[in-house]
Chains A and B, each alone.
Chain A
Amino acid sequence: MNQLFKRLCISSLNSNQVQINNIHTGITALAWSKSDLPRKFLLHNKKIYPPQSPEEEPRPAFVCHQKTNIKYSPLKLWYIACLVRGMTVDEAVKQLSFVNKKGAVFVKEAILEAQELAVKEHNVEFRSNLWVAESFSGKGMTIKGIRRHAKGRMGEVRYQFSHYFVRLEEGKPPADYYKVNPQTPQQQLNNWLEQMRKRKIINSY
């Protein structure tokens, strides 16, 4: 059984390095294969917005940035991504330098890179005048490994990679990004009144 296991493992490792009659089959194709990196998030950087009239409030500049295929679990990265949402850039960098996790390094790097990009390419004047408007993680590639179990069985090990996405926006962050502060009774009453007045009574008109 152990022999079988060993042979299985060896064949699975070598399967992507097959050479038939000295003709490269697997790997050479890889060099010209399409990249499977996320594309859509960076396309936001290319969108051109219509001109504004002088009375309008100038639209805040933003920059989207991503870090791809980080050797870290996307689930663990998500917690760090949530932490920095709605913070100013300086605050986020400060907080991240005290997070004792491997992923915090990548997130910090990504934010600093995005800040640099914003100043260089996206007409942002002051590098500190930015806040983290979006921050989330995504799944990257997963490489599957094998581990042994008792009685000749085997299990699967997942070596996960993840992507990190961040969007920095110019200006001050909102006062209450996660909306954790409850409304005052007066505010609640006002909202309820307004809601009642706005409702439509069916078949009335």
Chain B
Amino acid sequence: MANSLLSKMGALRLAPVIFIQPSRTTTSKHYIPKYKKQRAQKYLKVELPNPNEDIAAMGQEKIRQKMKERGLLPPRPWMERPFYISATGGVFEPYVPPEGDGKASLVSTTRAKQAVQLLEKKSKSMMAIRKIKSFEEEFDQKEFVQQAQNTYIKAHESLVSGDSRALRLYVTEKAYPEFRFNSHGKTIRWRFLESLEPPRVVHARCTDVVSKENIYGQLTVRFHTRQTLAVYDRFGRLIHGSEIVAKDVLEYIVFEKHLSNLYGTWRIHEKIIPDWAPPKQPSKLTRVMPEPEPEPVKVAADKVESVEGKETAAIADK
């Protein structure tokens, strides 16, 4: 009776807008209310599905009830856990780059401490390289370093071209997600200009995983190069760096090889970022600072919900 006298003249008219809406001026109601029921019977009741049902908010019991109604079986739980060991999960005894790349004043306390530690670490590196040579007879540091630089360039090029299959050849399983992190939907322009200093091995370690014979080798290589980098977002707008301005880059890259594997290769495993590294450049993208969220007020509504949940459970079991 949307158009009746009551709603027009009654107190309802003074109610706030929410209660009145949607109000109609023309009605599709029949002028004889007597056969309302019979007219309704002309239409067969059809239960319409609700395609936009929020399953996440429905609760376990409600989902169970719905599935029972439709005769659906619950999905088979996936119990297996993929396990892949062709790379270790981290860097063991990571290299600590000396303060200021070895050029800081000898008087500084950290530099002095590091100088002492360096000696014992060097002997360990020698042992590790000897171990690598026992697996890889023709291992030569000079040759390896060139090969490492090649891998370094190839890995970056395949990242730029978006060739994820090629990237897997140059990067271990651990480094792969770190490499591709945040690169989705972006265009990267990267160029390797030149090597300012010849790359050199600064650190070497070997370790065994699970069994004694299963050995991994890790070599840290110091690169000092000139590169250009520019990152564009999805719409081709510059977000980071520049294609023209070249930068000197000093990096300590860890390469890893599964030594016991006959077909293992040296691949990029991690990048060591020293504490004294200069801070990152801020992004060119600017954002509006989000307002602090108001503290949630606790309502007694939680109790009501739990009672409802129990009721549905009872229905489902019937």
Contact = CB atoms under 8 A, between A and B. Distances in A.
Contact of A125 (B51, B52, B233, B286): B286
A83 interface: no
A159 B46 contact: yes
A122 B234 contact: yes
A102 B22 contact: yes
B268 to A, nearest CB: 25
A146 interface: yes
Interface stretch (A41-49, A73-81, A186-194): A41-49
Contact of B230 (A27, A28, A51, A127): A51
B288 A123 contact: no
A31 interface: yes
A47 B104 CA distance: 48
B189 interface: yes
A68 B44 contact: no
Contact of A9 (B44, B239, B287): B44
B68 to A, nearest CB: 12
Contacts of A31: 72
A95 to B, nearest CB: 15
A50 B48 contact: no
B235 A28 contact: no
A101 B22 contact: yes
A59 B237 CA distance: 7
A54 B244 CA distance: 11
B66 to A, nearest CB: 12
Contact of B42 (A68, A127, A148): A148
A59 B185 contact: no
A160 to B, nearest CB: 11
Contacts of B42: 147-148
B43 A157 contact: yes
B70 A27 contact: yes
Nearest to B43: A147
Contacts of A146: 44
A82 interface: no
Contacts of A147: 42-44
A143 B288 contact: no
A51 B229 CA distance: 13
A71 B48 contact: yes
A99 to B, nearest CB: 10
Nearest to A106: B52
Contact of B43 (A49, A50, A70, A145): A145
Contacts of A50: 187, 236
Given A51-B230, A101-B22, A125-B287, A58 B43 contact: no
Interface in B191-246: 230, 232-239
A60 to B, nearest CB: 7
A49 B236 contact: yes
A40 B309 CA distance: 39
B285 interface: yes
Given A49-B235, A145-B44, A100 B51 contact: no
A95 B87 CA distance: 59
Contact of B51 (A24, A54, A161): A161
A52 interface: yes
A6 B71 CA distance: 26
A141 B234 CA distance: 33
24 contacts: A13-B44, A19-B71, A27-B70, A48-B186, A50-B187, A54-B238, A59-B235, A59-B237, A60-B235, A61-B234, A61-B235, A69-B52, A100-B21, A100-B22, A101-B22, A127-B288, A140-B51, A141-B51, A143-B46, A147-B43, A148-B42, A148-B43, A157-B46, A159-B46
Interface of B: 21-23, 41-44, 46, 48-49, 51-52, 70-73, 185-187, 189, 230, 232-239, 285-288
Given A28-B72, A100-B22, A123-B239, 9 more contacts: A27-B71, A48-B234, A49-B235, A51-B238, A58-B235, A59-B237, A69-B52, A147-B43, A157-B43
